[in-house]
Structure 1
């Protein structure tokens, strides 16, 4: 993957938009469950915000991933190959994996009728915990280490 000195405006916008949508999707999960019960009984759930948000997340994450692969990202702070840099790299990989897997699980549950709803819910909870860790590490870097990591996701370069 390419390395750049900073994130583009579109990368930053997509980062924050996806972050907000993931939180909203997590809080609207019960609406998705209620809609599934209607569908399981042979009814039509109509517009379900949780499902629409999940589809938007999936589309935006694919876009983010393609931009990340094409444009690159700034190097993680620290010595290349250090434990901190490896943790950052693998943490981002886990976040991307979950940001793809969770909406795909919801899609399989809602549209294909596959019985993976519990796995979808577990994945969503794990994603929230990992994202919380990600946010805490960004704050730690910004305010304790004072290395400007959070600033990189605030203004484009």
Structure 2
């Protein structure tokens, strides 16, 4: 087990909890986006059904994890590494991360509201949390119908931008940004 000091973030790197949440969520998002792309490009195929059948449960899991990650990030706010680069680049990084977090909350929240207000009910992990209803509640379903997919694709675009910037920091700037999220705090 890691010492308590390695669990927390520090100015020289991210702690084991932050890194586990980041990379675990990255894997789940890769699964989600693969399923969404297959749903768009290869609908009604065996591979699409394999991924798509997990879409709601994985999305709900991501929603829970982003809430945990947000709380953990706030608890570590003063310990976190500073953004590398100019003040303008730091502001852009903060805005990008804020947009990522906002969409990571909004996209699954819209799907949950749509499910609760829809006729099929809200079931996750095989547990029915909201019963099916005779008629949908438009106030709950309309926002999800209008925005869930659109904002999901915007989230994918931001994730791709996030990966590109991480690679830019690693390959061009060589400033240690990516290493702080892969290896954690550097030894003193």
Q: 1:64 aligns with which of 65, 69, 75?
A: 69
Change (3 A) 1:129 1:135: same
How many residue pairs get aligned? The number is 140
Gaps of 5+ in 2: 1-8, 44-52, 119-140
Conservation of the 8 A alpha-carbon contact between 1:141 and 1:149: yes
Q: 2: distance between equivalents of 1:138 and 1:3? A: 19
Which residue number corresponds to residue 181 of structure 2?
Answer: 153
Gaps of 5+ in 1: 35-47
TM-score, with normalisation over the residues of structure 2? Answer: 0.69
Q: 1: distance between equivalents of 2:61 and 2:54? A: 10
Q: 1: distance between equivalents of 2:113 and 2:30? A: 21
Q: 1:106 aligns with which of 105, 108, 111?
A: 111
Cα shift readout 1:77-109 (whole Å, capped 9, x = no counterpart): 124xx1101000100000000000011011112
Conservation of the 8 A alpha-carbon contact between 1:8 and 1:156: yes
In the TM superposition, residue 3 of structure 1 has moved relative to its aligned partner by 7.0
Cα shift readout 1:92-151 (whole Å, capped 9, x = no counterpart): 000000000011011112232212234100111000000100110010011101101110
In the TM superposition, residue 24 of structure 1 has moved relative to its aligned partner by 1.2
Query: Does 2:122 match 1:94?
Result: no
For the aligned residues, what is the CA RMSD? 2.1
Higher Cα Rg: structure 1 or 2? 2
Which residue number corresponds to residue 14 of structure 2?
Answer: 7
Structure 2 residue matching 1:74: 3-state secondary structure: coil
Query: Does 2:164 match 1:136?
Result: yes
In the TM superposition, residue 10 of structure 1 has moved relative to its aligned partner by 1.0
Structure 2 residue matching 1:62: 3-state secondary structure: helix
In the TM superposition, residue 59 of structure 1 has moved relative to its aligned partner by 0.6
TM-score, with normalisation over the residues of structure 1? Answer: 0.81
